[in-house]
Amino acid sequence: MKNSILLLSIVIMTISCSGSKDGKADLVIINGKVLTVDRDNPAAEAVAVRGESIIAVGTVREISSFIEKGKTRVIDARGRLVIPGFNDAHVHFGPLDPDYIELRYTTDPAVITSKVKEQVEKSKPGQLIEGGHWEHEMFNDRKWPSKELIDAVSPDNPLILSRADGHSVLVNSYVLKKSGITKDTPDPFGGEIQKDPVTGEPTGVLKESAERLIKTGAVKTDRTPEEEASRLRQGYLLALKEAAEYGVTSVQIPGQADFSAYEDLKSEGLLTARIDIGKPLTGDVEQLRQYEILRKKYPQEGNWIRFGYLKAFIDGTIGSGTALMFEPFSDNPSTSGLAMMPYEEFERMVVTADSMGFQIGVHSIGDKGNNWTLNAYEKAMTENGSRDSRHRDEHAQTLQLSDIPRFGRLGVIASMQPTHCISDKRFCEKRIGTERSKGAYAWRSLLNAGAKVAFGTDYQVEPLNPMEGLYAAVTRKDRLGEEGEGWFPEEKLTMEEAIELYTLGAAYSQFMEDRKGIIKPGYLADIVITDRDLLTIPEDQIMKTKVDYTITGGRVVWEAGR
């Protein structure tokens, strides 16, 4: 009897680990180095998929039995690395604008002038021109840009150029005039109109809430509504293509996005990434009830288009000098950053939304901003009782060391973007000093303290490519490489850990760890095959790694060379 029970237990365990063998597969991957992220079955050689789900994981011999000649597509990985699809836990995803002036990695400000001039020549007078991703800390002189850089080449067009972090913009005099922004305009709460220290005139840089003062005037375009709709649709398809090329099979969008646009793409069979869409956090109960309607329409139980979390901002950024800190900035002792609202108002919003069962994510950069966020979540728990809320600290960039254990204790997810570390480390110590920098991008410390961590990119603030994030997580070095062990190397991760945070960790942050983020029978078939072995290659090869196959829901949505 005991032997029979033991035999039955072995059979059940085998089925659980390998998947049912009833029927054949639609897609099979063989000869792979499969990193499953499944701690019960960490490595395998092959995977079988039927429909949108994984049905078996095991050896090539085991999985070959699922192949039906002429019907099952077989991908021979030829020893390449096979991992779960990347899940970007924080991404400003949406339609791409082919006319956007791309300024990422610009070192010579004169390039901005040249690119603006080129776009103005292709535009009608009065037409809005946008661009961005400039970073003044990358300029040769490391100085903030001013309207003089762009005025001469854009006299008749409203021009808005966003800083890389999205928390400051450079506008031309056309916009300042249309907006009524002068030397006498006071700073709004939570914002700053940067002004020339000698003349007092606006420089053209508007920080945080000061961006809301912008009025561009009439925007002229020759495109019909039908042409605009077609252009927008192509923008969505371009964004989805970029995601597929980088192996991104899921995106979690904070704030605003268009549910109906993704529904239309899904109905046409063109949606190639799973989408979570959030809304702005509010303490308005009537607005929250409207959100409840959306939450029911796009529930957590769904797999493709889902209602996400409610997003708030508590502060700005380190780069813009607007992160909310306990002590003044080291390079600008006149300020300790900006709060986006009074703490009491923020806490009330969090407690109200939590009482209605919403998941909340708060943009928190400075040590005080993060402290306020944790305090508000703790207050909500005290007021409303403990539940599996999975509230999120978006970015969690600079932490008091004493706040790190609170993440695990409160069940708050640290939703972090590793490339911020290697972008910001150039100026972080200049801004906040060495001692406070010890709590910056503290991935290892958070994990050691029992926190849940989810990785993303913050695209378009940073590039969408997860390979840059993996490189940052395991090296903490400049993108061009550098000698030594990296910036505060005690916070580095292993490659296996970094991949897990980009897959299973991100799935946990959206309540999907029971069906996504692992290569395991019964899980969604979101899988990536890379052209290099991320687990063994030298660090200078990580960002050169490409994706050869991206599979979303069992369908190949990207194949290199096609």
**pLDDT at site 536:** 98
Query: Is the predicted pLDDT of residue 257 greater than 70, yes or no?
Result: yes
Stronger pLDDT, 229 or 291, i.e. the higher one? 291
Please give the average per-residue pLDDT across 142-160, as a whole number.
Answer: 94
Q: Which of 81, 52, 63 is nearest to 523 (CA)?
A: 52
- Least confident segment among 207-211, 265-269, 434-438: 207-211
Answer whether 274's CB lies under 8 Å from 250's CB: yes
- Token digits for 401? 């060391």
pLDDT tens per residue, range 40-77: 999 999 999 999 999 999 999 999 999 999 999 999 99
pLDDT at 138 over 90: no
> Is pLDDT of 469 > 50?
yes
Give the domains, in start order, of the chain with CATH numbers: 101-213 (3.10.310.70)
Mean pLDDT, rounded, for 400-423:
98
Radius of gyration of the chain (CA): 25
Give residue 11's pLDDT band: very low, low, confident or very high (50, 70, 90). very low
pLDDT at 221: 62
343-355 helix and 285-297 helix, angle to the nearest 10 degrees: 40
Dihedral sign for Cα atoms in the order 180, 186, 191, 193: positive
Q: What is the pLDDT of residue 222?
A: 66
- The secondary element (H helix, E strand) that includes residue 441 is none
* Paired tokens of 516: 């996504």
Q: Say if residues 304 and 157 touch (Cβ distance below 8 Å).
A: no
Structure tokens at 32: 């792979």
Q: What is the mean pLDDT of the segment spanning 399-418?
A: 98
Residues 432-449: what's their mean pLDDT?
98
- Give the mean pLDDT of 352-376: 98
Highest mean pLDDT: which range of 122-126, 134-138, 315-319, 511-515: 511-515
The pLDDT value recorded for residue 23 is: 84
For residue 10, pLDDT beyond 80: no
Contact 49, 23 (CB under 8 A): no
Q: What is the pTM of this model?
A: 0.86
Kindly tell me if the per-residue pLDDT of 9 is higher than 80. no
To the nearest whole percent, how much of the chain has pLDDT over 90? Answer: 86
Q: What is the DSSP string of 171-195?
A: E-HHHHHHHT--TTPPPPTTEEEEE
Res 220: pLDDT = 52
pLDDT of residue 17 exceeding 50, the answer is no
Which pLDDT value is given to residue 8?
Answer: 33
The residue type of 495 is: M
CB 60 within 8 Å of CB 75: no
Q: Which two tokens stand for residue 339?
A: 């709060």
- pLDDT of 166: 83
**What are the tens digits of pLDDT across the range 274-316?**
999 999 999 999 999 999 999 999 999 999 999 999 999 999 9
